[in-house]
Amino acid sequence: MIQNQFIIKIFTGNISGHLMVVMITLVMITAGCNNESRQQAGNSSETKEQPVPVPQFDADSAFSFVKQQVDFGPRVPETKAHAAAVAWLTASLQQWADTVRVQDFVTRVYDNRIFKGKNIIASFNPGSKNRIFLSAHYDSRPFTDHDADAATHKTPIKGGNDGARGTGVLMEIARQLHLHPVNRGIDIILFDLEDYGPPQDTQTDQGSDWWGLGSQYWSANPHKPGYTARYGILLDMVGAADATFPLEGFSMYYAPDITKKVWETAVAAGYGDYFVFDKGTYITDDHYFINTIAKIPTLNIIHLDPTSANGTFYDPWHTLADDITQIDPATLKAVGQTLLTVIYQKSF
Footprint on this chain of Zn ion (rule: CB under 5 A) = 141, 162, 195
- Decide which of Zn ion, ligand AHN, none touches 284; Cβ closer than 5 to 8 Å per partner kind: ligand AHN
Q: Is the dihedral of CA 163, 166, 172, 175 positive or negative?
A: negative
User: If we measure between CA atoms, which residue out of 206, 232, 222 comes closest to residue 286?
Assistant: 232
CB of 214 to ligand AHN, least distance (A): 12
Q: CB-wise, 57 or 211, nearer to ligand AHN? A: 211
- Residue 211 interacting with ligand AHN (CB under 6 A): yes
Binding mask of the shown chain, residues 125 to 164, with x at each position contacting ligand AHN by CB under 6 A: -------------------------------------x--
Residue 281 CB, nearest distance to ligand AHN (Å)? Answer: 11
* Cβ 84 vs Cβ 72: under 8 Å: yes
Q: Does residue 165 sit in helix, strand or coil?
A: helix
Q: Which stretch binds ligand AHN (CB under 6 A): 68-76, 148-156, 279-287, 326-334?
A: 279-287
- 236-265: contacts with ligand AHN (CB under 6 A): 236
Q: Does 288 bind ligand AHN (CB under 6 A)?
A: no
- For the chain, first and last CA: distance in Å? 38
Nearer to ligand AHN, 58 or 162 (CB): 162
The reply to whether 328 sits near ligand AHN by the rule CB under 6 A is: no
List 61, 64, 99, 208, residue binding ligand AHN (CB under 6 A)? 208
CB closer to Zn ion out of 163 and 185: 163
Binder among 284, 308, 310, 345 for ligand AHN (CB under 6 A): 284
C-beta contacts of 35-44 below 8 A and 24+ residues apart: none
Looking at this protein, which amino acid is placed at residue 134? Answer: L
Choose from ligand AHN, Zn ion, none: what does 79 bind? Cβ within 5-8 Å by kind: none
Q: Is 172 in the site for ligand AHN (CB under 6 A)?
A: no
Q: 3-state DSSP helix/strand/coil percent for the chain, to nearest 5?
A: 45, 15, 40
Task: With contacts defined by CB under 6 A, name the span among 47-55, 223-231, 257-265, 281-289 that binds ligand AHN.
Answer: 281-289
CB 67 within 8 A of CB 324: yes
Task: Tell which residue, 269, 271, 240, 245, has the closest CA to residue 259.
Answer: 245
Number of H helices, E strands in the chain: 10, 8
Residue type at 50? Q
Q: Which part of the chain contacts ligand AHN (CB under 6 A), choosing from 75-83, 120-128, 278-286, 321-329?
A: 278-286
Q: Which region among 86-94, 182-190, 283-291, 330-338 touches ligand AHN (by CB under 6 A)?
A: 283-291
Dist CA 194 CA 318 (whole Å): 13
Closer to ligand AHN at the Cβ: 211 or 217? Answer: 211
Of the candidates 265, 275, 279, the one whose C-alpha atom is nearest the C-alpha of residue 243 is 275
Separation of CA 253 from chain center:
21
Residue of the chain from 147, 187, 248, 285 that contacts ligand AHN (CB under 6 A): 285
H helical segments located in the chain: 2-11, 17-46, 59-71, 80-96, 166-179, 213-220, 249-254, 256-268, 286-289, 329-345
Residues of this chain that interact with ligand AHN (CB under 6 A) are 162, 195, 197, 208, 211, 236, 283-285
